[in-house]
Structures are given as structure tokens and as C-alpha cells.
Amino acid sequence: MLIKKPATIKSSEITDEAIYLRRREFLQTSAGLGLLPFVKTAAAKTGASLQHVKNAKLSSSEKPTAYESITSYNNFYEFGTDKESPAKYANRLTTEPWSIVIDGAVNKPGRYQLEDILKPHTLEERIYRLRCVERWSMVVPWIGFSLADLIKRFEPTSKAKYVQFTTLYRPKEMIGQQRGVLNWPYVEGLRMDEAMHPLTMLAVGLYGKVMPNQNGAPIRLVVPWKYGYKSIKSIVKISFTEQEPPTTWNLSAPSEYGFYSNVNPQVDHPRWSQRKERRIGEFLRRDTLMFNGYADEVAHLYKGMDLRKYY
């Protein structure tokens, strides 16, 4: 459906068609290559492109939000609590070299360099809706691969019921960590079936380019049916646990932020309604969709659960 552009929308919020279509130059001709060339993160500043394979089956058909909006309007408290601070200060973050610790209930624990984490995987483009608890949303063309594929490599044991993720803690570069607004480092978690769901991905780029620092470089989680704060950024540790792991926002404000953090317009945040959202680049608010519009794919994960209690 075509939507007439209100005169109040800034030109900077409209996708530059030439920029977006340029991604097609880098599409792989075969999904069977199994090749993921690792582009040095420092190249993100020059707009380096990533080779990738589009996975239309897992993508939204909606028009992506403008690159300029995605990279300048962010929640990343490690660089400040307002939306503009991440783009302003994230250039201080050193993302090379980068390693990720894998521990807990797995047969292959250890510290792995990011290059080794990425090597076996084929990159995919997935256009996913991103919904934030503050009632705004975006449509982002992420570049990454299924978290499930990575999990299988490390062979979780039968005790692995949950997956916990930890963000980098480096206050000298992540200046928001110099303030006690949250307990650092930032931690998040998923139930194992959520982590293994085909929609759940680890992203290393967006709009066909290396992930900008303010969006979670060099690697972040994307769980499209949950609120954005669940999609933890700049991951340095992945732990497999038997018990439900603590999560940063649940620890900070348990009455407002539950472990599951599923988009549910029927459950209000204590301070505002979740029934409407504003898509960045649009003038009018739209209805919030159950599970952010992914109910057909994920509702079965929560069958029999009281979603007002397990919010």
C-alpha cells in the first residue's frame, strides 16, 4: 500500500533509493557458498559494504527506515541516555580486536575471536521491525545470521535451558558507563527455545554495511518480536544456564520490565499505553501489533502462559 508522504516529514527521514538499491550489487549468486568474509570493523566509518544473501522468507515487506534515522536515533545507554548521544560518542569505541567468551553448560566453552565466530556462516539480509518500549518503531535491514546456527556449534548440554548475553564493559570508551544509571555491564537473556527460533539472529551490519558503533558494533542480538532493549549490543560473552538469568532492565525496574519483554499492546507499561506506536519517518501513530507483528511465527512459544504475568 502506498502512503502519501505528509509535508511535515523531514527529507532526511526518507530512504535514499540509490543507497538502498546499491546493496544488490553485493548479493551472492548462491546461498550455498557458506562464506562470510570478515570486514574489519574500522571500515564502518567509510561505509564498507558486506557481502550477503537475502533471506526473503524471514523479511518484512515494509519499506526500511532511512539509514540516517537508524544510525542517529538510538538507545544505547553505554554512551548516554538520550537518543542522540550514541551517534555522538560511539566513535570512541575500539571494536578490533574483539573476542567472545562462551561458557556455562556447553561442551565447547572458550574464548573465541570474532573472526572465528563468523567464519562458517553465510550472511543474510533480514528486514525486521524494531519496536521500542518508548512507543516508537523502525524497520531495519539487518545483516547477520541465525543465533541457532552458532549455538549448535558449541554443543549445549541438557542443562542449558537459557542463554545469557553480556555487553562490553569499558567505561573509558563507553562514557555512559561512568554513570550509575544501570548496573554495568548490561546483561540480557533468552529462553533456549527463543534463542533457537529461526527469527532470532546475530547481526553484524545493516543496510548492507558494517554495523555502526552506535547500533551495537561489532555484533549484536536481534529478537524482532520483543522490545528493542532485549536485543543486546556489543556482545562479549554468551553463557548457557540452567536457571533464568538476571537481566539489566528487570533488575533495575522489575515492575516495568519483565524477563520476556514481548511486544504486547494489551499490557500497558506502568507509565503509558503500548497500544499505539510512531514509526520513525511517519506522521501519524499506528496500532501496535501483538508480538510486533510476528505472532504467526512465535505465539506457540508461549502457549498456556499468562502473558500479563509473564510480561
Mean pLDDT along residues 186-208: 97
State the pairing for strand pair 276-279/110-113. unpaired
Task: Say if residue 96's pLDDT is above 70.
Answer: yes
Dump pLDDT digits (tens) for 139-184: 999 999 999 999 999 999 999 999 999 999 999 999 999 999 999 9
Mean pLDDT along residues 275-295: 96
Mean pLDDT along residues 132-145: 96
- Rounded Cα gap, residues 281 and 14, in angstroms: 7
- Rounded Cα gap, residues 11 and 13, in angstroms: 5
Task: Say if residue 19's pLDDT is above 70.
Answer: no
At 47 the pLDDT is: 64
E-only strand ranges, 114-212: 124-131, 136-146, 162-167, 187-191, 201-206, 209-210
Task: Say if residue 122's pLDDT is above 50.
Answer: yes
At 54 the pLDDT is: 75
Task: Say if residue 307's pLDDT is above 80.
Answer: yes
- What topology is assigned to 11-302 in CATH? Sulfite Oxidase; Chain A, domain 2 (3.90.420)
Dump pLDDT digits (tens) for 28-46: 323 333 334 444 444 455 5
Q: pLDDT-derived band of residue 101, with 50, 70 and 90 as boundaries?
A: very high
- Buried b / exposed e across 157-195, counting CB within 10 Å, b at 16+? eeebbbbbbbbbebeebbbbbeeeebebbbbbbbbbebb
Task: Say if residue 23's pLDDT is above 50.
Answer: no
Task: Say if residue 204's pLDDT is above 90.
Answer: yes
Rounded to 5°, the CA angle 75-115-177 comes to: 30
Q: Are 88 and 72 in contact (CB under 8 A)?
A: no
**Domain residue ranges of the chain, discontinuous segments joined by +:** 11-302
Question: Bigger pLDDT: 9 or 311?
Answer: 311
Task: Say if residue 1's pLDDT is above 50.
Answer: no
Q: Are 264 and 307 in contact (CB under 8 A)?
A: yes
pTM check: above 0.85: yes
Dump pLDDT digits (tens) for 228-259: 999 999 999 999 999 999 999 999 999 999 99
Question: Bigger pLDDT: 9 or 145?
Answer: 145
For residue 186, what are the CA distances in angstroms to 53, 64, 87, 174? 31, 28, 19, 12
Closest CA to 72 of 55, 56, 46, 90: 90
For all residues of the chain together, what is the average pLDDT? 88
Mean pLDDT along residues 94-122: 96
Task: Say if residue 91's pLDDT is above 90.
Answer: yes
